[in-house]
Structure 1
């Protein structure tokens, strides 16, 4: 988790100076941009801190070993359904929901109903049918 931790902490180091530069550039008269940049820095700091604390508790992963080989990471990565149409229906219902934000709440509600059905299908598709485990 060292690479991920460094990535997020480097982004904190980027967003903090950018926040200050933006604040001085706008003479602190435009608070929305400053707050958005500050919250971005805090979000990356929170994620980097979480990854740092989690990385201290876990053993070294094969990805963290600089002298590691490809075969060090072999093994079971979990069960994945071979072919599923459910993510397509979930994405389509998400598109209908986002269009509903622009068009009207009635369309958003229709998309939300389809999204609920698609999420339930996606969660339970491994328990029955052709791809049951």
Structure 2
């Protein structure tokens, strides 16, 4: 992960430098804002990856120049085999966008549906506590 966080921090510095150059050359507010937000986003990702690498504290195969492909083998995590939640979530997001065109009342209904769908998607694999587990 050392390579990853260094890449994102370097990208953040590059975007910040380009923001200054763009400000001096053109000075358009939208472009400056976009470049500055890109620098901040790359910096946030770089900080998160650096913080995670410090917390894990071990050398990953991608950081070892002598590593083989087999060194990265193993379980990577849990990935959902199938889920119906992306469909209603996407439909609710589209309805929210349409609500901005149609009217505020439709936006409120769509945002309510969107919140329910996101909660359902996030808690899809949560197991409820039985009465004996407290």
Question: In the aligned structure 1, how far is the partner of 2:21 from the partner of 2:3?
Answer: 27
Corresponding residue pairs, total: 126
**Is 1:48 aligned to residue 46 of structure 2?**
yes
What displacement does 1:8 show?
A: 1.2
Q: 2:75 corresponds to which residue?
A: 76
Structure 1 segments, 4+ long, off by >4 Å, are none
Provide closer, same or farther for how the CA distance between residues 45 and 81 of structure 1 changes in structure 2, counting only shifts above 3 A: closer
Q: 1:6 corresponds to which residue?
A: 6
Provide closer, same or farther for how the CA distance between residues 112 and 2 of structure 1 changes in structure 2, counting only shifts above 3 A: same
Q: What is the alpha-carbon root mean square deviation over aligned residues?
A: 2.6
Q: 1:112 corresponds to which residue?
A: 111
What displacement does 1:9 show?
A: 1.9
Provide closer, same or farther for how the CA distance between residues 116 and 5 of structure 1 changes in structure 2, counting only shifts above 3 A: same
Question: In the aligned structure 2, how far is the partner of 1:124 from the partner of 1:106?
Answer: 28
Task: Structure 2: give runs of 5+ residues left out of the alignment.
Answer: 128-134
Question: In the aligned structure 1, how far is the partner of 2:52 from the partner of 2:123?
Answer: 30
1:57-97, Cα deviation, whole Å (9 max, x unpaired)? 42112232233233322322333332211112112211211
Q: 1:88 corresponds to which residue?
A: 87
Question: In the aligned structure 2, how far is the partner of 1:99 from the partner of 1:23?
Answer: 36
Question: In the aligned structure 2, how far is the partner of 1:54 from the partner of 1:66?
Answer: 21
1:121 counterpart SS class: helix
**Is 1:21 aligned to residue 21 of structure 2?**
yes
